Structure 1
Amino acid sequence: MHDCDIDIMAITESWLLPSIPNSFLSVQGYHPIARTDVGDVRKHGVCFYIRDNIPFISIDSNCPNTHIVHLVSLKCYIIVVYRPPSNTQNDNTALINLLEQFCTGKEVLILGDFNLPAVDWSIEDVLFQDYDPLTLAFTNCFNTIGLHQWVDFPTFTSSGNTLDLILSMETDRIGSVESLCPLPGCGHVPIKFTYHFTFNTSQDGNVCIKKRAWERGKYKIIDNHVSQIDWDYEFCHLSVDAKFNRLLQILTPLIDSYIPLCKQLSPSSPLSPPTALKKNRTTAWQLFKSTRRFYGRHSKQCTQALENYNIINRQYRNHFIYSQIAYERTLMDNLKRNPKAFHQYIRNKKVGAPSMGPLSHPDGSLVEDCAAMAEIFVNSFSSVFKDSCPNPFPHQTFQGTLDNVNITYSAVYRP
């Protein structure tokens, strides 16, 4: 994903089960995976990987093998769909009803494997041909919604059919559409395309989010600044929204000054294959496609080109295995010189929040027990609430006492 500079990846037939936690599927630089599993059925399921600087909300579709995300800042919805051949008539009807009802009045992009092999998307007026009842139901659905399909090349290598579709309501949004090399052991061709938006990242602030190392903040300095602010004066005669905006105006410069940004790690993984191998793999795949198109699928030239591609593809797959072994051996050899790299690698392999702790106890010792760490957090949180102000402003002090205060119902109640 990093090598291809992908912002959003939609995956069909994810084969994910509920027993597989999201921590096993995390990718650096991306939000936690957004997924829809189908019980204990392995060959089903869909999911999204979305860059962590793109805010989104998952929407429940109440339909199996579909997942909907709302790109909040871009005001666009994306639906990933996998329609397995085993779908019943009720399942297909539910999917069609979902698409027709949800797409009304929204900008929607639909991606996925619809398993409609009878449709030849390379011809004109493809939605108005005579098809079997199932295919006709979906093409009528696409035509009713006003969708345009952009993939006009085979996406399933063994049959040469176009099963994976890109359906958009806006015809001026789609840029380039290209096929990538199939992943090892997969018969489908990954599709990469661009979708253009019009927005200003410098003024919005919701698209580009700075990640800060909150654990390294200089909170004593911030506390010193905050304690010298006359909050009664700052919030006087302001509405709730205006108070919140004023609070942000005060805190934002302090955050920029005393909370450092996270270090920008290189997106390339230590396990990434060399550029020459990736280039050879891409070249072999393009050569196979051109040979198949020129000589035919069953020709000797096409068979030889496919065999050459499979040889390079196996080298590409084995590279990750051997690179991981070599990388882990390097971590072990450098354990004494660079223990942080080793422990960070181990933490990424664990489930849950293994990076939490140990915490420093007020007595100076380090605490790793979960209950003791929770108690430290509680005490730290409660410490911000004080019975008295050490340096009060004049209008915040009162030397007298309140006696004989009588609060009546009629004085409080406002009909």
Structure 2
Amino acid sequence: MKNIVIGSFYRPPYASIQTLEHLNESVSRVKEKCKDKIIILAGDFNLPHIDWNSLAVKTSCNQSNQHHYLLNIAEEHGLEQIQMNQTRQDNNLDLYFPSHPSLVKTCDTVPGISDHEMVIVDSDIKPKYNKPKRRKIYHYKKANWENIKAKMCRLSSEVCNMKNVENCWNDLKTGINSILDSEVPSKLSSNKHSHSWITSSLKNKIEKKLHQKAKFSKSKEDWEKFRSYKSVIQKEIRNAHWTNVNESLSKSMQVGNNKSFWKYIKSKRCDNVGVAGLKRNGVLHQDSRTKAEILNNQFKSVFTKENPYAQKPQLNENRYPDINDLKITTSGVKKLLSKLNINKASGPDSIPNRILRHCSEELAPAITHIFQISLSTGTLPSDWRKANVSPIFKKEKSPRSHESYC
């Protein structure tokens, strides 16, 4: 667990800018001595004319230069002010600056014992790591591709004889997954956290019981032997770790697959990743389900909800020629399937790109048939109207607002 540095600050109402200059020097020294540690700065700053949502100083305010100086301190040292409530009359004087704002679950005010409201913060002290669900991993190298292609060909013929687009797609999806389960060996991913660079020889060295021996004997010679051995093993582990990282990243870059790179970057995170806590009706929500509902309502609100009973406007004569009928050919579908990136994740239908690519010739007639029925009837399979949506944060906006994501 990382150490936490907590700083408390009070600025008198009519203090000079030197007070903030001393604060800036103090924070600089802390940042230099306590690298990679969580920093929290809080206190009564008595600078009420900053709009913390837009990070702008209100016009025609007193001590404008000090308001701007505080904003510069926060920006220079990577601190984000998240206390937005008024703490004395109509002013927000008491502020809370964490270096890792994603760890903060709630920040609110309650009546205090003085003329200021009291700020209550509920925060984690280390990032939350969501335990990934076990997923099925297929061993394609051990697959019987001849049987797979023969079964895919029969499945495609059956789908081509059907007329309903929903039934066509459901039978094709179910059939592909059934063939996968029967012809491709698989296993479930491990739910244990392990390090690939810890080899069996390193494990044997780590498990050597020199510490127990030194603790039992209390001999100075045994303790020195243990410390010397510990230093050697730690050096070997570091070397093995960096060798593994370099080899893994270089191999992935050579084949154009950057998954290993981003997996390594993600493992080094110091903050919670994903969407920050979102406010709805003044309440900050942190659980995933509620945040998903808030964002879903936000995304729906930007679309026009059409009234099916509204009278359609009269259109003038079309000045442009009608579009030609779309022609979807089996050869075209096969060509697109054969170019799929097998390293991309599957969508909500859970059909791997590797299967679609390797069996492009066998599956192309069935997929072409589904496209043609969909165009002629004006309907889509229900699965095709589903998508995995990843919200993207808009810069220079509050991460606590659902309107800050698109």
Structure with more helix by fraction = 2
Q: Structure 2 length as normaliser, TM-score?
A: 0.30
Q: Structure 1 length as normaliser, TM-score?
A: 0.29
Find the structure with the greater CA-based Rg. 2
